[in-house]
A = this chain, B = another copy of it.
Amino acid sequence: MGIYQEIDGFFNPESIAVIGASATPGKIGYAVLKNLLEFYEAGGKLYPINPTRDEILGLKCYKSILNVPGSVDMAVIVVRSKMVPQIIDQCGKKGVKNIVIISGGFKELGGKFRDLEAEALEVARKYGIRIIGPNCIGVYDPRTKVDTFFQPKERMLRPKPGNVAFLTQSGTYGIILLEWSAMDELGISKFVSYGNKMDVDEADILMYLKDEPYTEVVGIYLEGLGDGRKFFQAAREFTKKKPLIILRGGWSEAARRAALSHTGFLGGKGRIYEAAFKQAGVIIARTLEELYDMVKALARQKYAKGPRVAMISNGAGPMVQAVDAVSVEGLKLAELESSIKEELRKNLSPFTIVENPVDLTGSATPEDYKVAMDILLDDPNVDMLFVFFVHQNAPMDKSIIDVMKEINKKARDLGKTVLAGAAGGPYTQSLNKEMEKAGIPTYPIPERLVRAAKALYLWGKNVSGES
Which residues of A line the B interface, CB within 8 A?
A: 25-28, 30-31, 104-105, 108-109, 137, 150-152, 154-157, 168-173, 175-176, 179-180, 182-183, 221, 223, 249-255, 257-259, 261-263, 267, 287-289, 313, 315-321, 323-324, 326-328, 333, 351, 353, 355, 357, 359, 361-363, 388, 390-395, 397, 423-428, 444-445, 447
Q: Would you give the shortest CB distance from A353 to chain B, in whole angstroms?
A: 5
Could you tell me the distance between the alpha carbons of A317 and B259 in the complex, rounded to whole angstroms? Answer: 8
The answer to whether A150 touches B394 (Cβ under 8 A) is yes
Q: Would you give the shortest CB distance from A100 to chain B, in whole angstroms?
A: 14
The answer to whether A176 touches B28 (Cβ under 8 A) is no
Interface contacts beyond A176-B444, A221-B317, A289-B445: sample of 17 additional A-B pairs, CB < 8 Å, sorted by A: A27-B395, A109-B353, A151-B393, A151-B394, A152-B392, A152-B394, A173-B317, A175-B390, A179-B392, A223-B317, A249-B320, A252-B324, A254-B323, A254-B326, A258-B316, A258-B320, A267-B320
The answer to whether A327 touches B253 (Cβ under 8 A) is yes
Known A104-B362, A179-B424; judge A171-B317 contact (CB<8 A). yes
A-B contact pairs, 30 of them (CB 8 A): A25-B394, A26-B395, A28-B394, A104-B362, A150-B394, A151-B390, A151-B394, A154-B427, A155-B392, A157-B425, A169-B317, A170-B315, A170-B317, A170-B320, A172-B390, A176-B423, A182-B425, A221-B317, A249-B317, A249-B320, A250-B321, A250-B324, A252-B323, A254-B333, A255-B324, A255-B327, A258-B316, A259-B320, A261-B359, A262-B359
Q: Would you give the shortest CB distance from A365 to chain B, in whole angstroms?
A: 8
The answer to whether B179 touches A251 (Cβ under 8 A) is no
Known A104-B361, A320-B255; judge A394-B27 contact (CB<8 A). yes
The answer to whether B328 touches A427 (Cβ under 8 A) is no
Residues of chain B within 8 A (CB-CB) of A353 are 108-109, 261-262
- The chain B residue sitting closest to A150, CB to CB, is B394
Residues of chain B within 8 A (CB-CB) of A172 are 313, 315-318, 388, 390
Could you tell me the distance between the alpha carbons of A367 and B175 in the complex, rounded to whole angstroms? Answer: 23
Could you tell me the distance between the alpha carbons of A288 and B180 in the complex, rounded to whole angstroms? Answer: 20
Could you tell me the distance between the alpha carbons of A119 and B351 in the complex, rounded to whole angstroms? Answer: 19
The answer to whether A179 touches B428 (Cβ under 8 A) is yes
The answer to whether A362 touches B150 (Cβ under 8 A) is yes
Could you tell me the distance between the alpha carbons of A359 and B157 in the complex, rounded to whole angstroms? Answer: 25
Could you tell me the distance between the alpha carbons of A323 and B261 in the complex, rounded to whole angstroms? Answer: 13
Residues of chain B within 8 A (CB-CB) of A425 are 156-157, 179, 182-183
Most buried by B among A319, A321, A388: A321
Q: Would you give the shortest CB distance from A247 to chain B, in whole angstroms?
A: 8
Nearest 8 CB-CB pairs, A to B? A170-B317, A172-B315, A255-B323, A31-B394, A179-B425, A262-B316, A151-B392, A157-B425
Q: Would you give the shortest CB distance from A328 to chain B, in whole angstroms?
A: 7
Residues of chain B within 8 A (CB-CB) of A253 are 327
Could you tell me the distance between the alpha carbons of A249 and B316 in the complex, rounded to whole angstroms? Answer: 11
Known A289-B445, A327-B255, A351-B105; judge A427-B173 contact (CB<8 A). no
Could you tell me the distance between the alpha carbons of A262 and B311 in the complex, rounded to whole angstroms? Answer: 13
Contact of A320 among B104, B262, B444 (CB under 8 A): B262
The answer to whether A176 touches B424 (Cβ under 8 A) is yes
The answer to whether A156 touches B392 (Cβ under 8 A) is yes
